[in-house]
Amino acid sequence: MSLRARARLSNGVIYAILGVLSLVWVLPIAYLVILSFKVERGPTLDGYIMPKGYTLGNYIALFTETTSFNYPQWFMNTLLVAILSCVISTAFVLMVAYTLSRLRFAARRPIINVALILGMFPGFMSVIAIYHLLKLAGLDKTLAALVLVYSGGAGLGYYIVKGFFDTIPRALDEAALLDGATRWQTFYKLTLPMSTPIITYAVLTSFMGPWVDFILAGVIMKDNYQSYTIALGLFHMLDREHITTYYTSFCAGAVLVAIPIAVLFMFMQKNYVEGVTGGAVKG
């Protein structure tokens, strides 16, 4: 077999595997979208694979039938928490990463090692302690508590951002300092304008965490239904006493949740990929 034939065969096998994997990923999402339009209210299809009829009523009901499940309020709560957490977390990550990349001080290496060790533990292990601290401070069952929790430990995720900053030549910083610029001016006016890809990465990851989180929101909010986030509210639509009535509304709500993230990724995909690959290379 010639070299070209081998290359074609190997490419064909790779494409076939990727096609199967794509089907595995896309089919559940496509089926969820189909179910969000079905006429039947319950989770079953009476032995059929596809719905018997389709309607937009499930989407309309999300924004009109708000007595039991106030989806518009959940959406606004989640959007507010995600935006505030994104802004604070992105600022924390960029400043911590720049400090550990550019500055040299006695505690630098211990801080990096401690952050690495802490990052090995899942965040939900400390959720009970976090809840009791918030309760003592009178912040339990509030959206402010979610913002504090999501953004408080953001600095520990500095690794990829630091890797990107390491690829920027230090000579640029030294030249700016010799010209009389301060460290803040060097960071704000020199480093950040050159770091659009990694800023995009930091913004996306900081926004996605609060947008889809369920565990922390469930522990902190308890039974404060008006302060629920989307993930928590949709989960309660699947309770035994509600699933028969609200299953199709759940499907519609799940589709709407994915739209903002999908749009962000579509518009920022190029910068996002550049940020991840740039941060993985040490300069």
Kindly report, residue by residue over 220-242, the tens digit of the pLDDT. 888 787 888 899 888 888 888 88
Residue 270 has pLDDT above 90, yes or no: no
Residue ranges covered by each domain of the chain: 70-279
* pLDDT > 90: percent of the chain: 15
Structure-block tokens of residue 234: 């949709």
How far is it, in rounded angstroms, from Cα 165 to Cα 162? 5
Contact 147, 85 (CB under 8 A): yes
Average pLDDT rounded to a whole number, residues 267-275: 65
Using the Cα atoms of residue 190, residue 193, residue 196 and residue 199 in order, give the sign of their dihedral.
positive
What pLDDT, on a 0 to 100 scale, did the predictor assign at position 85?
A: 92
Pair 166, 283: CB distance under 8 Å: yes
Cα 258 to Cα 150: distance, rounded to the nearest angstrom: 20
123 has pLDDT over 70: yes
Among 16-25, 56-65, 145-154, the range of highest mean pLDDT? 16-25
Residue 88: CA atoms inside 13 Å, Cβ hemisphere, count?
Answer: 18
Where does the pLDDT of residue 282 fall: very low under 50, low under 70, confident under 90, or very high at 90 and above?
Answer: very low
Query: Which helix (H) or strand (E) element contains residue 252?
Result: helix 243-279
Query: From 2.60.120.10, 3.40.80.10, 1.10.3720.10, 3.20.20.70, which CATH number describes the 70-279 domain?
Result: 1.10.3720.10
Segment 148-200, tens digit of pLDDT? 988 887 878 888 888 888 888 888 888 888 888 888 888 888 888 888 888 88
> Rounded to 5 degrees, what are φ and ψ at 135?
-65, -40
CB 160 within 8 A of CB 100: no
**Residue 204 burial (CB count, 10 A):** 20
Q: How would residue 280 be classed by pLDDT, with cut points 50, 70 and 90?
A: very low
